[in-house]
Structure 1
Amino acid sequence: MEPYATADELWAGALVFARVGAVVMLIPGVGEAYVPPRIRLSFALLLSLVFTPLVAPGLPPLPDQLSGVVGWMLRETLTGLALGILMRMTLSALGVAGEVVSLQTTLSFAQTANPLQAQPGTTLAAFLTLLGVTLIFATNLHHLFITAISDSYQLIAPQRPLLIQDFAATAVTTAAQAFKVGIQIAAPVMVFALIFNVASGLVGRVMPQFQIFFAAAPLNVLLGLSVFALSLGVGGMVFIEAYRRALAVFSGG
């Protein structure tokens, strides 16, 4: 390989690929289970070729021992996995919103395959998650993924100690923020369900002979889905803004 690249250049490229490949494996859109592995691998390799000349001055030299090589590769892989997990955690807000809306509209029993989570989930949760990935690419928010990977070499430099406590604190904050955003997206349906259930209970108390369940169940589904459809645009804007703020944290913004 010496005529094409020196050992130090190969080492720098492999070290960058370890972090970038781990991030690409988890980021929304490209890192989904239904994306062919060759596409993810090619995308990670392309990003590594772009980033290597930019970050090579800050990378550690090639170790003399095999244990040093393995240690550095594991460190960069763990760093990439941590970044990818944080980027994906915010997307779980849509899953939370879908589960809450399904529960409030009595559709939680309708399970379907969720291609983004590789496990069954409610139909509304799967729909919202796919909608979130579509909005990320439609609003060019995926460009911030590349910026976050590049800026991570300043925030988490390879030759500095791993920020384990900072990662744990950021993970807790991100999870709490994702749950908060999910509740905000589902808030209109929650308010409707509260009012509707109270009204149904009052009708049932006033008219005990009236079979309120048979009349309220279809109305709950119809009106709940109508409120959900009307609030979908605002919910998408709330999610995109929250995701933009989350990526700004990873980019040091």
Structure 2
Amino acid sequence: MEPYATAEQVWAGGLIFARVGAILMLLPGFGESYVPPRVRLSLALVLSLALWPIVGSSLPVLPATLGATVGWVIREVLTGLAIGAILRSFMTAMTTAGEIVSLQTTLGFSQTANPLQAQPGTTLSAFLMLLGVTLVFATNTHHLFIGGMVGSYEAIAPARPLIVSDFTAMAVRTLSQSFMLGVQLAAPVLVFALIFNLASGLVARVMPSFQVYFAAAPLSVILGLSVFTLSLGVLGTVFIDRYRSVAAFFTGGAVG
């Protein structure tokens, strides 16, 4: 390797590749099962070569022992997995919104294969997950991922101790915010379902002989999907704005 790169350069590139490759394994859109592994590895290699002149000065020197070398690599892989998991966990807001809408419109039984998850889910949740990934690329939010990779070397520099408590607190906060956002995104359908169910119950009390269920079930689906369709534009705008703020968090160079 000496005619092409020194041992220190190979070490720096490999250390960057360990973190960047781990992040790409979990990023929305890049880390999906339908993306070929060779494509992800090639992209991680290209990004590592591009980031090396920028973040190379913050990397530690080549350790003298094999144990220290393996320890640094494992540390960078764990750091990358933690960052990727935080960015990916916020996507569960769309799944939560889809499950709530499906439950309120009596479409929870409609299951389909979700290409972004390892298990099937409701049709609406799979649709919203695909919509979320599409919005990430349509609004160039994936550019913030690269900025976040660079900013992560300032926020979690390899020479500094790995702050596990801050990562844990941020993961818990991100998951709680994603669940709350999912409920907020489904709020129009929740309000509709509350009013509709109250009206159906009132009709059932006033007219006991009237079969309310047979009339309410199709109306619940039609009207609920209509409300969902009308609120879809606002839903996507709110989600991508919140997700961009999460993606830009590491770009700002702060954690915790």
TM-score, with length taken from structure 2 = 0.98
The more displaced of 61-70 and 73-82 is: 61-70
Hey, what does 1:219 align to over in structure 2? 219
Hey, what does 2:240 align to over in structure 1? 240
Aligned-pair CA distance for 1:118:
2.1
CA–CA separation in structure 2 for the residues paired with 1:119 and 1:55: 38
Q: What pairs with 1:1-253 in structure 2 (closer than 5 Å)?
A: 1-252=1-252
CA–CA separation in structure 1 for the residues paired with 2:14 and 2:249: 26
Aligned-pair CA distance for 1:110:
0.7
CA–CA separation in structure 1 for the residues paired with 2:246 and 2:92: 13
CA–CA separation in structure 2 for the residues paired with 1:72 and 1:116: 31
Aligned-pair CA distance for 1:140:
0.7
Aligned-pair CA distance for 1:158:
0.2
Superposed CA RMSD: 0.7
Aligned-pair CA distance for 1:248:
2.1
CA–CA separation in structure 1 for the residues paired with 2:196 and 2:223: 9
CA–CA separation in structure 1 for the residues paired with 2:35 and 2:4: 32
CA–CA separation in structure 1 for the residues paired with 2:76 and 2:31: 18
User: Deviation per CA, 1:203-236, whole angstroms, max 9, x where unpaired?
Assistant: 0000000000000000000000000000000000
The letter for the 2-side match of 1:54 is: I
CA–CA separation in structure 1 for the residues paired with 2:250 and 2:188: 30
Give the total of aligned pairs: 253
Give ranges in structure 2 of 5+ residues lacking alignment.
Answer: none
CA–CA separation in structure 2 for the residues paired with 1:58 and 1:142: 24
The letter for the 1-side match of 2:2 is: E
The letter for the 2-side match of 1:84 is: G
Aligned-pair CA distance for 1:90:
0.9
The more displaced of 243-252 and 59-68 is: 243-252
CA–CA separation in structure 2 for the residues paired with 1:55 and 1:114: 37
CA–CA separation in structure 1 for the residues paired with 2:114 and 2:133: 13
Give ranges in structure 1 of 5+ residues lacking alignment.
Answer: none
CA–CA separation in structure 1 for the residues paired with 2:185 and 2:57: 44
Q: Secondary structure at the match of 1:182?
A: helix
CA–CA separation in structure 2 for the residues paired with 1:140 and 1:160: 31
Aligned-pair CA distance for 1:249:
1.7
The letter for the 2-side match of 1:228 is: F
Q: Secondary structure at the match of 1:118?
A: coil
Aligned-pair CA distance for 1:55:
1.1
TM-score, with length taken from structure 1 = 0.99
Aligned-pair CA distance for 1:72:
0.2
Aligned-pair CA distance for 1:131:
0.3
**Identical aligned pairs, as a percentage?**
66
Name segments (4+ residues, structure 1) moved above 6 Å. none
The letter for the 2-side match of 1:74 is: I
